Structure 1
Amino acid sequence: MSYEEGLSSTITDWLFFNSWWLLLPFIMLLVVAAFIVAFVLLLYMISPLISPKPLKLNGAHVVVTGGSSGIGKSIAMECYRQGAFITLVARDEVSRNKQNINVVLCISVDVSKDYGQVESVIKQCQEKLGPVDMLVNCAGTSFSGKFEEVEVERFRSLMEVNYLGSVYPTRAVITTMKERRMGRIMFVSSQAGQIGLFGYTAYSPSKFALRGLAESLQMEMKPYNIYVTIAYPPDTDTPGLAEENRTKPLETRLISETSGVTQPEQVAKTVVKDAVQGNFNSSVGPDGYMLSALTCGMSPVTSITEGLQQIVTMGLFRTVALFYLGSFDSIVRRCMIEREQSKAADKRE
């Protein structure tokens, strides 16, 4: 071999060796990407195997608290359309004619005051219609106002109605559900139970509390084939919203207008479907989906697919949320400046 041939061979070997190291990162990246794709496909394949079996509403006994109007009434009607036997529990007197629904049983009781009374009426409805297959905790009330202007009594009453009003009925049905190894429990929270907003210092904490209850209860009940759903409806066209708007501060109203108002029938269809499927989180609309992904934290997932979606979208949604929060802060500052300028003008006059 000549000197020139040996030199050429050496250079070729050197280039091949160094080219291999240059390509190695790309090869590793391809291997990792292929592994991730294969892993995701595997998760999608086994996801249906670990998801809960849907509850059949046809012939099931569904108890709805707060069912005299609004979302509770729409949920009752949606369950009835799917063949369920309905028990309506409400603080106000309930009648079949008022509901425009052929409910089987109507009970008037305040679910937030006396647990013994709640337990008694739940026992009564189970004696007439059989064990409760699904409990919908929809009893609640809302109120908005600036923190220092809200009466102290209002903080207590909202916690009683919105939180204890869900604890008591759930406590009354849970033993029978565990014995039967089946059941669904829904807590109707609010988007104000995912994010604290101006004017909701009394209302939001009472709805945030439901999430802690739902997460803890789901961990206890899952081995018994009982699944908990927590629903986060947006502003919904109900008598409760109309009442809330009477005292809503300007800042709160302007922030609320960024997402619009949803019809109770739409909310009912979505949350009933999620409860039947055994989904833990139930949200309505794009804003609701984004909020649920952003605030998922350590909350349980019903399927691996849901978990993957949260992982993939978290960063993007957090970026969008920062713009929303910036706009909310801008609204609050603008209202404050306008109010101070108005006061200053009044003093000059």
Structure 2
Amino acid sequence: MTIAAPPTRRDIAYRGFHLPADTTAGTVDERGRWTTPPVRVGFAVAEVVPSWTAETPDGCWIEVELRGWHGEAPATGWYLLARWAADDRTVRRTSIPGQRDGDAAVDTDTLVVTGAMVTGWQARVTLCRPADSPTGPVLRSIGAVATGPALPGPTGTPEPTSPAARGRVLDVPRYSQRLHAGQYPQWGGGGDSWCSPTCTSMVLAYWGLGPTAEHCSWVQPPGPRPVVVHAARHCYDHEYAGAGNWPFNTAYAGLHGVDAFVTRLRSLAEAEAFVAAGIPLIVSAAFRADEVPGLAYDTRGHLMVLVGFTADGDPVLNDPYAPDDDAVRRTVPRQAFEAVWQRGSGGVAYVLRPASVPLPPPPAQANW
């Protein structure tokens, strides 16, 4: 939606902004602010991760805030999770560090509840544009995923699986991030750290979407795959100094014609429902070398595309941390991979799909 409240003018000193050197601070019209109704989740909340899709013309940006909710009243103050723009020529997208009090703290893309009793969340989005801009931002979607203090361990009761996912591998293109090693190091050190935008690029390509050759023409020399470099630049968080901010990746994907959001899944059984529906998932895991057979490297956090399952239920991955495209496809043991995915990120997954492709039916306690 466009938020067409009467404009409120404010002078911004751009304190805390990351701006190109030639940017001149000036007067900004704050075109509108929209606050979601409180979303009550029915359990004690430990973390909330927002995600959104929006359009921001040149010089415009949005600011995304969260606060905790309990009962009939707010449980925390507001915390600024993102100052986001689609491009980086005027206002560079950034998370906002240093926000911590007795109730909660901001950890890059996540609101972490530390002391308050929180059983729900509320989001607020501010659309900002320069005073002389003929157009302003448009908010397309806003949401969040809330999780409790710890995900439940195995119950001993097998979870229902999706038979249609067993033996199904989606035809997601294979992109190696390591082909871009050393390329454009100003965005997180180059390709060796670009797992997230490489995965986002793979899934956009699966849907036949992504930036055009004209949009990527600035990548010179073009290298092995300009769309990956373009994604790394346009997912880059200038405060975090990396391209792995979860909602920045889904917001980038949303610019290319997909519905995109971050969620947390409880198990690979839930992930199977997406594969059965023809939707690959981008999943985040942390592990030690060989903790998962077939993944012989250490990572404190790595993104891969879950493209399918074997007939026996083992996950099939497009792992961008490979020496070349041919080596990207890997099959790993189900139990070992599920353990490091749940432990490392709490089951984080990016869901990217055209609106014409329906999501699978959600579980009783919906997380999508």
**TM-score tier (shorter):** under 0.3
TM-score, normalisation: structure 1: 0.25
Larger proportion of helix: 1
Larger proportion of strand: 2
- Greater CA radius of gyration, 1 or 2? 1
TM-score, normalisation: structure 2: 0.24
